[in-house]
Amino acid sequence: MAIKDGFQPVYSITPGIMQDLLRIERLKTELSNLELTPVLLESLRQSAWLVSTHYSTAIEGNLLSQAQVEQVVEQNQRIRGRERDVREVKGYYAALEEVQRLAQSRVAVTERVIQAIHALVIGSGRKRKPTPYRDGQNVIRNSRTNEIVYLPPEASAVPRLMAELASWLNAKNDLPVPLRAAIAHYQFATIHPYYDGNGRTARLLTTLILHRGGYGMNGIYSLEEYYANDLSAYYGAISVGPSHNNHLGRAEADITGWIAYFVAGMAEAFEKVHAHAKKSAALAKAQKGPTSRLDVKKRTVLARFMDAEFTSRDVAELLQLNRRYASVLCEKWADEGFLTIENPSKKARSYRIKDKHVSR
């Protein structure tokens, strides 16, 4: 990436990239045309944020399971022996909330905004002053072999490089938003302006750019899951250039491969959420169809678990009920035909919403 006269990424728009961009546009239109009730939309968003938090922190070595992430975020539970992992989860989820707020406020993506997002990431979600850039050299090593994987620019170059990135982000051009997000992700990772939290902040910056550019889809999809499902592909795509040293190839490298990887992942994430949201759109017809006869508790459970298996404990947590009462309620709903019993075991009994309540 040549930066002699500011930030100038080097890439080509291949037929494959163009095809994925067109697929993204088609799915974006179809998603925006789905009639989703506020309850369902909030449920989809909450699920996506929990998934994003789990996978983005897992990429960096966080050991909490998806269920534990939900316990930390929704119930503020402490996980013994995993205090650092808990702090990372809280930080990432709070940063996602801040990204949503920033996108809605239409503020420019300035250096200070990026620093404020990073402060939440490393500060367990507590509001702190925007974090200054690193004051020394950082080195990324292979955790198994201790070999140098990447040597970022010197600390003295970071302020200039970040200023150029921010200027490029706010300049007017005709570049498609998904490409802007992909390039910003790559360049932030290239600069590596902090000692810690660079990967998480790069992914959050991507999310902010997509939301501000009209590709947020109300926060109901997760790119982080795409990255985490094949980490070798993620690292392989973002490791561009003939050398691990920023000044020996990476800074001027052609990043077409990374962009192709990114837009393919975005298209895949849109496909996945579109299929799920389409099935869930039955709730948009709740006032016209058979779901209009469901009470508030049933509608809430329907919104959260439409395509998922769940237990009475899950219902208790969702509705904030006594565990024993939730168990009795689920049995009652099964007798009424609202639920079907998936696992009849007394200790591990689980349920699903009966098909007649779910749009296919």
Q: Are residue 276 and residue 332 in the same domain, yes or no?
A: no
Q: Are residue 33 and residue 165 in the same domain, yes or no?
A: yes
Domain finish residue from 280, 315, 331: 280
Name the residue with higher pLDDT: 149 or 184: 184
Is residue 109 included in any domain, yes or no?
Answer: yes
The predicted structure's pLDDT at residue 244? 55
Q: Are residue 267 and residue 342 in the same domain, yes or no?
A: no
Is residue 166 included in any domain, yes or no?
Answer: yes
Q: Are residue 182 and residue 312 in the same domain, yes or no?
A: no
The predicted structure's pLDDT at residue 360? 42
Is residue 8 included in any domain, yes or no?
Answer: no
Domain at 82, CATH number: 1.10.3290.10
The predicted structure's pLDDT at residue 93? 95
Q: Are residue 269 and residue 303 in the same domain, yes or no?
A: no
- pTM for this predicted structure: 0.76
Q: Are residue 258 and residue 307 in the same domain, yes or no?
A: no
Q: Are residue 266 and residue 310 in the same domain, yes or no?
A: no
Tell me what percent of the residues of the chain surpass a pLDDT of 70: 89
Is residue 5 included in any domain, yes or no?
Answer: no
Is residue 9 included in any domain, yes or no?
Answer: no
Which of 185, 219, 181, 262 is CA-nearest to residue 98? 219
Residue identified by tokens 């080195």 is 139
The predicted structure's pLDDT at residue 4? 42
Mean pLDDT of the chain: 86
Q: How far apart are CA 124 and CA 293, in angstroms?
A: 43
Q: Are residue 260 and residue 317 in the same domain, yes or no?
A: no
HEC readout, the chain: CECCCCCECECCCCHHHHHHHHHHHHHHHHHHHCCCCHHHHHHHHHHHHHHHHHHHHHHCCCCCCHHHHHHHHHHCCCCCCCHHHHHHHHHHHHHHHHHHHHHHHCCCCCHHHHHHHHHHHHCCCCCCCCCCCCCCCCCEECCCCCCEEEECCCHHHHHHHHHHHHHHHHCCCCCCHHHHHHHHHHHHHHHCCCCCCHHHHHHHHHHHHHHHCCCCHHHCCCHHHHHHHCHHHHHHHHCCCCCCEHHHCHHHCECHHHHHHHHHHHHHHHHHHHHHHHHHHHHHHCCCCHHHHCCHHHHHHHHHHCCCCECHHHHHHHHCCCHHHHHHHHHHHHHHCCEEEEECCCCCCEEEECHHHCCC
Asked if residue 2 has pLDDT above 50, the reply is: no
Specify the amino acid at residue 227: Y
Is residue 304 included in any domain, yes or no?
Answer: yes
Query: Which tokens in the block code for residue 117?
Result: 């997002």
Tell me what percent of the residues of the chain surpass a pLDDT of 90: 51
The predicted structure's pLDDT at residue 271? 92
Domain containing residue 334: 289-357
Mean pLDDT of the region 185-189: 93
Q: Are residue 218 and residue 306 in the same domain, yes or no?
A: no
Asked if residue 334 has pLDDT above 90, the reply is: yes
Which of 189, 328, 264 is CA-nearest to residue 27? 264
Asked if residue 287 has pLDDT above 50, the reply is: no
Domain finish residue from 252, 280, 308: 280
Whether 21 contacts 265, CB under 8 Å: no
Q: Give the total number of structural domains in the chain.
A: 2
The predicted structure's pLDDT at residue 36? 76
Q: Are residue 37 and residue 126 in the same domain, yes or no?
A: yes
Give the model confidence (pLDDT) of 144-183 as tens digits: 677 777 888 999 999 999 999 999 999 888 899 999 999 9
Q: What contacts 119, CB < 8 A, 6 or more positions away? A: 127, 128, 129, 130, 131
Mean pLDDT of the region 173-194: 93
Is residue 155 included in any domain, yes or no?
Answer: yes
Q: Which of 139-143, 186-190, 336-340, 356-360 has the lowest mean pLDDT?
A: 356-360
Domain finish residue from 245, 280, 315: 280
Mean pLDDT of the region 30-38: 80
The predicted structure's pLDDT at residue 3? 39
Whether 281 contacts 35, CB under 8 Å: yes
Q: Are residue 160 and residue 253 in the same domain, yes or no?
A: yes
Q: Which of 24-28, 122-126, 205-209 has the lowest mean pLDDT?
A: 122-126
Q: Are residue 32 and residue 168 in the same domain, yes or no?
A: yes
Is residue 10 included in any domain, yes or no?
Answer: no
Whether 259 contacts 11, CB under 8 Å: yes
Asked if residue 76 has pLDDT above 90, the reply is: no
Give the model confidence (pLDDT) of 245-284 as tens digits: 655 566 678 899 999 999 999 999 999 888 888 777 655 5
